[in-house]
């Protein structure tokens, strides 16, 4: 990881570790920082409970996520399915990458996506 990105990522992890304001504990526990280190711009992100067989809708909408950029993934309080999530990314060149590892987003503050792996922090 580049030095600036490492510093930025460390600062984000620190912020995520701070106490959260009152609210739905279940939905708040699923929120995490999503960091794109794939080397490509991401045009679509699909998040699905690990036990699901479908991807649902693109959570980025019209936004894109350049390489080296992160965003906070916020789950609506109505989405009370699972803590274990799989991910599918669609890149600017039309290629796709799936991450079917079942990351436990209830116990993570961040997930870093590389070209073919993801790492939870």
The whole-number pLDDT of residue 76 equals 72
Q: What percent of the chain has pLDDT over 90?
A: 46
Tell me, which fold does domain 25-120 have in CATH? Immunoglobulin-like (2.60.40)
Domain layout of the chain by residue ranges:
25-120
Stated pTM of the model = 0.75
Mean pLDDT, rounded, of the chain? 80
Spell out where the chain has E strands: 32-36, 42-49, 70-73, 84-91, 96-104, 110-113, 118-120
- pLDDT of 28 higher than 50: no
pLDDT in tens, 61-109: 999 999 999 999 887 766 666 789 999 999 999 999 999 988 998 888 9
The whole-number pLDDT of residue 80 equals 61
């Amino acid at each position: 990881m580049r030095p600036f990105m490492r510093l930025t990522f460390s600062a984000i992890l620190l912020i995520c570790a701070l106490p959260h304001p009152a609210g739905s504990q279940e939905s708040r526990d699923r929120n995490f920082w999503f960091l794109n280190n794939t080397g490509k711009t991401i045009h679509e992100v699909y998040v699905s409970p690990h036990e699901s067989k479908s991807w649902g809708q693109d959570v980025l909408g019209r936004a894109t996520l350049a390489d080296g950029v992160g965003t906070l993934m916020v789950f609506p309080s109505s989405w009370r399915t699972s803590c274990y999530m799989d991910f599918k990314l669609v890149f600017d060149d039309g290629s796709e990458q799936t991450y079917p590892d079942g990351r436990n987003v209830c116990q993570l503050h961040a997930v870093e996506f590389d070209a073919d792996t993801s790492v939870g922090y």
